[in-house]
Amino acid sequence: MTTTALPNPSASGAGRPPLPVKMVIAGGFGVGKTTTVASISEIDPLTTEASITEVAAGVDDLTHTPHKTTTTVAMDFGVITLDPTLKLYLFGTPGQDRFGFMWDDLVAGALGGLVIVDTRRLDDCFAAVDYFENKGLPFAVGINVFDGNLDHDLDEVRWALDIPDSVPLVLFDARERGSVRDALLVVLELALQRAEEE
């Protein structure tokens, strides 16, 4: 007589899965997040829908049950299989600023973030910069140089964004795989440096 138990979860037919790690690609609407993911992802970027819970109550409403509404947003992502044991996922944040503080799901456990900036609309990226700073996530600001030209001096951009020198500022072309790769490497090297200092 055999005992009937739940099948052993480790008795998988496919063996041990690769270790998944992720990075977050943030920035305002239309700055090239999806292009960035598409340039380096080995799959066409996929879109999934995720609910985010929005606390609609003001701070003066704490005595009541906070009124929550759920909003569905589309989220683009891609994947790079770095080796058979390691997969890097790239998640693009939903573009809307007002969802900026609802990115916890995306950012939890992320290795780092890349905030993409369009120098014609600098203020679009403030939400992401603030969010990553508050979360302590290692991040770099990437200026997407669509046409190879930069309208502003890098120091001006840094000043305008009010980011400290510890945040790397990189120029990159979201359409070029090598350029995206190098921008991500800047973020990862910052993350490594931070981890080494811990």
Exactly one of 29, 30, 46, 154 binds another protein (CB under 8 A); which one?
46
Name which position in 26, 31, 38, 40 contacts another protein (CB under 8 A).
Answer: 40
* CA 140, chain centre distance (Å): 11
Task: Please choose, out of 30-38, 47-55, 121-129, 151-159, the segment that lies near another protein by the rule CB under 8 A.
Answer: 47-55
Tell the residue number behind the tokens 């140089």, with chain if given: 145
- Residues 168, 183 contacting (CB under 8 angstroms): no
Q: Is 160 in the site for another protein (CB under 8 A)?
A: no
Smallest distance from another protein to CB 93, Å: 12
Q: Any contact of residue 111 with another protein (CB under 8 A)?
A: yes
Judge whether 66 and 57 are in contact, CB under 8 Å: yes
CB of 155 to another protein, least distance (A): 26
Burial 26-63 (b: 16+ CB within 10 A, else e): bbbeebbbbbbbbbbbeeebeeeeeebeeeeeeeeeee
**Cβ pair 118, 149 in contact under 8 A:** no
- Is 89 a binder of another protein (CB under 8 A)? yes
- Are 174 and 181 contacting, i.e. CB atoms less than 8 angstroms apart? no
Is residue 36 a contact partner of residue 46, using CB atoms and an 8 Å limit? no
Spatial distance between the Cα atoms of 136 and 134, rounded to a whole number of angstroms? 5
User: How many residues in the shown chain lie near another protein by CB under 8 A?
Assistant: 57
Q: Which is nearer to another protein, 31 or 110 (CB)?
A: 110
62 binds another protein (CB under 8 A): no
Which CB, 51 or 96, lies closer to another protein? 51
Question: In the complex, which residues of this chain contact another protein (CB under 8 A)?
Answer: 6-7, 9-14, 16-22, 40, 43, 46-51, 72, 75, 77, 79-80, 82-83, 86-89, 91, 105-106, 108-112, 176-179, 181-182, 184-185, 188-189, 191-192, 195-196, 198
